Amino acid sequence: MGQEFSHEGVNSEHTSYDQYEQEEEKYEEVDVDYMDEDDTSVEPMFDYHGFDEGYNIDSLEDIGMIEFWNIRDEDVCHFHFSDVDIAFEFYNRYARTRGFSARKNRSRKSRAGALKLKNFVCHREGFRLQNNYGIGNLKRKPTPETRCGCSAMMEIRVDAPSGRWFISYFSDEHNHPLLDPRLTGLLPGHRFMSEADIGHMVNMKKGGISVGQMYRALANQAGGYEYLSFTQRDMYNKIAKQRRQLPGDAYAALKYLEDQATNDPFLYFNHHMDADGTLRNLFWCDGLSRADYSLFGDVLAFDATYKRNKYMCPLVVFSGVNHHNQTIIFAAALICDEEKDTYRWLLQQLKVAMNGKAPVSVITDGDLSMKFAIEKEFPNAHHRLCAWHLIRNATSNIGKPQFTSMFKKCMLGDYEIDVFRQKWFEMVEGFGVENKNWVLDMYKKRHSWATAHIRGKFFAGFRTTSRCEGLNSIIAKYVNSRYNLVEFIQHFNRCVDHIRWKEVQADLASVNGRPSL
């Protein structure tokens, strides 16, 4: 009843929720005896023909009214219960006040399949399986051996006429030291997360708070770690269980975007799957991003360098600048590769989402697949290469700091075309690099990077994709490599909200007062 960890019939020791759960199911299938209706092979210690109404236990509320600290062992056997789960919760609450925890053990059913008998034991009942001692090359440090054959037990049987469960055998004789209350609560059988705790955890997780920070915050709220009924490991297990309950990562991501579209009718998303149904590409943008593109989409920065996600897939971000010269995001996509066809598909989705509006200028880092896709999908857009990448390439290809310095002046200098040509050939001849393939290739592409050749083209102040690199550093604060697709999209959208809030603050600064001259 409300316990996160269950230990029914586990003879090997584990620490995670699912290991306990799997062992419990396995034990239920195997360790069940069958008995005839008149089977008396196991004589009960107690056998009731009538029940005292004062000892009825029918709900958790009834259990909560019992003062277990003051109850005597001989009084325990007077209680009777409405079902097996209530009986187990009763025994586990009793166990906590005595310094141990309860575990479900053997069951007996009639030939008709009806449950007739159940016993609950101390968590130290039984012994560790012998085959667990022979496992070599363990990756984890083996857990301490806690099973010591303790014989403490409470057995319950069903009274056929009334359908109530009574205690037929009870023993509180332990062969091991009992724990003090400070430690008893740390036993797996007494650890659980309430619905309120889970709700707090989910809300903080959506806010990007780490599990360690969540646990410290909840401990502070409760008044100390000793007042929490769960450990940090239990939180990790709960999060992992919630992830496994999703019908599928790709399906869940598409379902999440569909749900978002009900609140934002202008949200656009599309995906591409291969022949075997594997999601390969996912593109999305919300209504506000589409509105921003209609106003500020003349200049488009196209970057695919960020790969911090669970599947190491490139995150493509389409960005630009607004009226405050701030970076804004027009759309985003997760792609499986950086091939020409993939980029063409992305730009096609961008055109559909933005009602066919093509950018005037596009800035990239020089990737050839990007260049090909831009020429095919936006043939009239002017393609500019990132100045920062070109300077870095000059350093790596020529290896002379003086050449890099002069190359930078040729690239950014506001020269007439004739002056640019003169300075270029003087530089090339002066350093003796006129036959370098990179130098020849750069001169052929001068219309994509030299200020002398792109004068009059509108780039909204863009000269490099450094805005994209800066944007990646912001994204890194919101997402990490452990996130699945749904979590990645959720936290990426939080990053977009943060960027938009900066615009609101800039709007306030622009209207609240006048600039100092």
Q: Which tens digits make up the pLDDT trace of 264-285?
A: 999 999 988 876 667 888 999 9
Q: Quick one: pLDDT at residue 20?
A: 35
Residues 30 and 170 in one domain: yes
- In which element (H, E) is residue 502 found? helix 485-511
Residues 174 and 32 in one domain: yes
Total domains in the chain come to 2
Find out whether 326 and 506 touch, Cβ atoms under 8 Å: yes
SS (H, E, C) 218-280: HHHHHCCHHHCCCCHHHHHHHHHHHHHCCCCHHHHHHHHHHHHHHHCCCCEEEEEECCCCCEE
Rounded CA separation 302/318 (Å) = 5
Residues 84 and 199 in one domain: no
Rounded CA separation 201/170 (Å) = 39
Is 494 contained in some domain? no
**C-alpha angle with apex 370: 314 to 446, nearest 5 degrees?**
135
Determine the average pLDDT of the residues in 65-72.
85
Look up residue 314 and give its two tokens. Answer: 């490139």
Rounded CA separation 445/432 (Å) = 20
Q: Quick one: pLDDT at residue 37?
A: 46
Choose the most confident range, by mean pLDDT, from 15-29, 134-148, 218-232, 258-272: 258-272
Contacting residues for 66 by C-beta, under 8 A, at least 6 apart: 57, 90, 93
Among candidate residues 462, 453, 319, 459, the one with its CA nearest the CA of residue 387: 462
Residue 235 — very low, low, confident or very high, per pLDDT cuts 50/70/90?
confident
**Domain C-terminal end among 244, 274, 307:** 244
**Alpha-carbon torsion (403, 408, 411, 416), positive or negative:** negative
For 152, the domain range is 17-132+139-190
Is 437 contained in some domain? no
Residue 243 — very low, low, confident or very high, per pLDDT cuts 50/70/90?
low
Q: Is 332 helix (H, G, I), strand (E, B) or coil?
A: strand
pTM of the model: 0.55
Token look-up 């007439």 returns 416
**Alpha-carbon torsion (471, 473, 478, 481), positive or negative:** positive
Cβ count near 491 (within 10 Å): 19
Q: Quick one: pLDDT at residue 231?
A: 80
Find out whether 145 and 13 touch, Cβ atoms under 8 Å: yes
Residues 123 and 202 in one domain: no
Residues 111 and 217 in one domain: no
DSSP letters, 28-63, are HHHSEEEE-TT--SS--S---SS--GGGEE-SHHHH
Residues 211 and 166 in one domain: no
Is 157 contained in some domain? yes
Q: Quick one: pLDDT at residue 132?
A: 59
The identity of residue 66, as a single letter, is: I
Q: Quick one: pLDDT at residue 87?
A: 92
Is 280 contained in some domain? no
Give the C-alpha distances (Å, rounded to integers) separating 120 from 55, 96, 109, 157.
19, 14, 16, 12
* DSSP conformation class of 413: S
Residues 78 and 173 in one domain: yes
pLDDT in tens, 429-482: 888 888 888 889 888 888 888 888 887 777 776 655 455 556 767 777 777 766
The identity of residue 368, as a single letter, is: L
Determine the average pLDDT of the residues in 65-85.
86
Residues 84 and 154 in one domain: yes
SS (H, E, C) 113-131: CCEEEEEEEECCCCCCCHH
Q: How far is CA 355 from the centre of its chain?
A: 34
Q: What percent of the chain has pLDDT over 90?
A: 15
Rounded CA separation 191/499 (Å) = 41
**Domain C-terminal end among 215, 244, 273:** 244
Find out whether 8 and 105 touch, Cβ atoms under 8 Å: yes
Whether 344 shows a pLDDT value over 90: the answer reads: yes
Residues 78 and 153 in one domain: yes
Residues 75 and 119 in one domain: yes
Is 373 contained in some domain? no
Residue 293 — very low, low, confident or very high, per pLDDT cuts 50/70/90?
very high
Between 472 and 410, residue with greater pLDDT: 410
Is 314 contained in some domain? no
Q: Is 394 left (phi over 0), alpha (psi -120 to 50) or beta?
A: alpha
Residues 166 and 236 in one domain: no
Between 294 and 393, residue with greater pLDDT: 294
The pairing of beta strand 102-110 with beta strand 32-35: parallel
Token look-up 């499986």 returns 336
Is 299 contained in some domain? no
Rounded CA separation 21/421 (Å) = 75
Q: Is 194 helix (H, G, I), strand (E, B) or coil?
A: coil
Residues 105 and 204 in one domain: no
Is 470 contained in some domain? no
Q: Quick one: pLDDT at residue 47?
A: 52
Between 45 and 254, residue with greater pLDDT: 254
Among candidate residues 356, 346, 379, the one with its CA nearest the CA of residue 293: 356
Name the average pLDDT for the chain: 79
Contacting residues for 479 by C-beta, under 8 A, at least 6 apart: 308, 309, 487, 488, 491, 492, 495
Q: Is 72 helix (H, G, I), strand (E, B) or coil?
A: coil
Q: Quick one: pLDDT at residue 84?
A: 92
